[in-house]
Amino acid sequence: MRLKVKNLHISYGKIEVLKGISLEISQGKITALVGANGAGKSTALMAISGILPLKEGSMEFDGKTLERIRPDEITASGVVQVPEGRRVFRRLTVFENLQLGAFLRRNDHTVKEDIERVFTLFPILSKRKSQEAGTLSGGEQQMLAIARALMARPKILLLDEPSLGLAPLVVEKIFDVLLKIQSEGVGILLVEQNARWALEVASWAYVIETGRIVLEGPGSQLLMNDRVRSAYLGE
C-alpha cells in the first residue's frame, strides 16, 4: 500500500513553492525528505494533509484520490500528520490530548487499548497523563504529539521536524520509537533538519532544493553522496 504524490505544485500567492515534486511512501518503510530551510519540505506535508490547496498534481493512497477531500477525511483514510512545533493542546491533560487523537474513531474499547499501547511506547506519558500538556518538557511534548497521531491509527505517518530543539538523548529515544512503529507496518514520511539521522533510518530518501526534487535514492547511498555530504552533513 503506497501514498503516491505526482507532479505537486503549490503556490503562496504568486510565489510557487513546490514546482512539480513526486514522492512515494510505502507502508512499513521510512522515507525521508531532506533539504535546507525554505526548500518546501513542510509545504509538501501540509499539501499532503489537505491543509494547502494544490495548484496542480495528484495524490493517491490505497486506491483513493486525496487531492479533493477534506483534511479530516485524509486523516480518516490513514494519512496522519505530526506538525512541526508539536502543537499539543496546552491546557488539556496528556490523557485528553490522546483522546482527541482518536476523535474520528467510535470504538471506545479499542481507543482504551491504544492509549495503553502509546503509554508502553512512551512510559513517561503514563506518569504525566493527568498533567496539562503545556507543563511538559519539549521532548515530552514531542512524544505526546506522536502518540496523539498514533491514536488515529495511521497507515502513513507524516512527521515534520521531530528532533527540532531537542537534546540528542531525547531524539534517540524518539527515533527508537519511530523504528518500532515502522516495524509494525506504519509508513513514515520523515521531514528532518538532521539529515544524518534521517538518512540513517530511511530506506528511501529525497533531497529537495527550492521546490524541486534534485536527488533520490536509498538513504544509505545518499549518506555517501558528495553533494549531500557537503550541503547537509557539514563535510
What CA–CA distances, in Å, run from 82 to 49, 67, 154, 194?
A: 10, 19, 11, 17
Task: Kindly tell me if the per-residue pLDDT of 105 is higher than 80.
Answer: no
Domain annotation covers residue 10: yes
Task: Kindly tell me if the per-residue pLDDT of 108 is higher than 80.
Answer: no
pLDDT tens digits, one per residue of 77-95: 999 999 887 789 889 999 9
Domain annotation covers residue 81: yes
Domain annotation covers residue 101: no
pLDDT tens digits, one per residue of 168-224: 899 999 999 999 999 999 999 999 888 998 999 999 999 999 999 999 999 999 999
Q: What is the CATH number of the domain that holds 167?
A: 3.40.50.300
- Enter the DSSP assignment of 34: E
Domain annotation covers residue 197: yes
Domain annotation covers residue 17: yes
According to the model, what pLDDT value does residue 42 have? Answer: 94
Range of the domain at 20: 2-89+153-232
Domain annotation covers residue 178: yes
- Enter the DSSP assignment of 131: S
pLDDT, mean over the chain = 92
| φ, ψ (nearest 5 deg) of residue 225 | -75, 130
Residues with Cβ within 8 Å of residue 178, at least 6 apart in sequence = 30, 146, 159, 162, 188, 190, 201
pLDDT tens digits, one per residue of 50-60: 999 899 999 99
Domain annotation covers residue 135: no
The answer to whether residues 30 and 180 touch, using CB atoms and an 8 Å cutoff, is no
Please give the tally of structural domains in the chain.
1
According to the model, what pLDDT value does residue 20 have? Answer: 96
Burial label for 82, CB within 10 Å (0-12, 13-18, 19+), is buried
According to the model, what pLDDT value does residue 208 have? Answer: 95
Q: Report the length, in residues, of the chain.
A: 235
Domain annotation covers residue 94: no
Instruction: Average the pLDDT over 142-149 and give the result.
Output: 95
pLDDT tens digits, one per residue of 20-41: 999 999 999 999 999 988 899 9
Confidence of residue 144 (pLDDT cuts 50, 70, 90): very high
More confident residue, 155 or 194: 155
C-alpha angle with apex 164: 43 to 76, nearest 5 degrees? 50
According to the model, what pLDDT value does residue 235 have? Answer: 58
According to the model, what pLDDT value does residue 107 have? Answer: 67
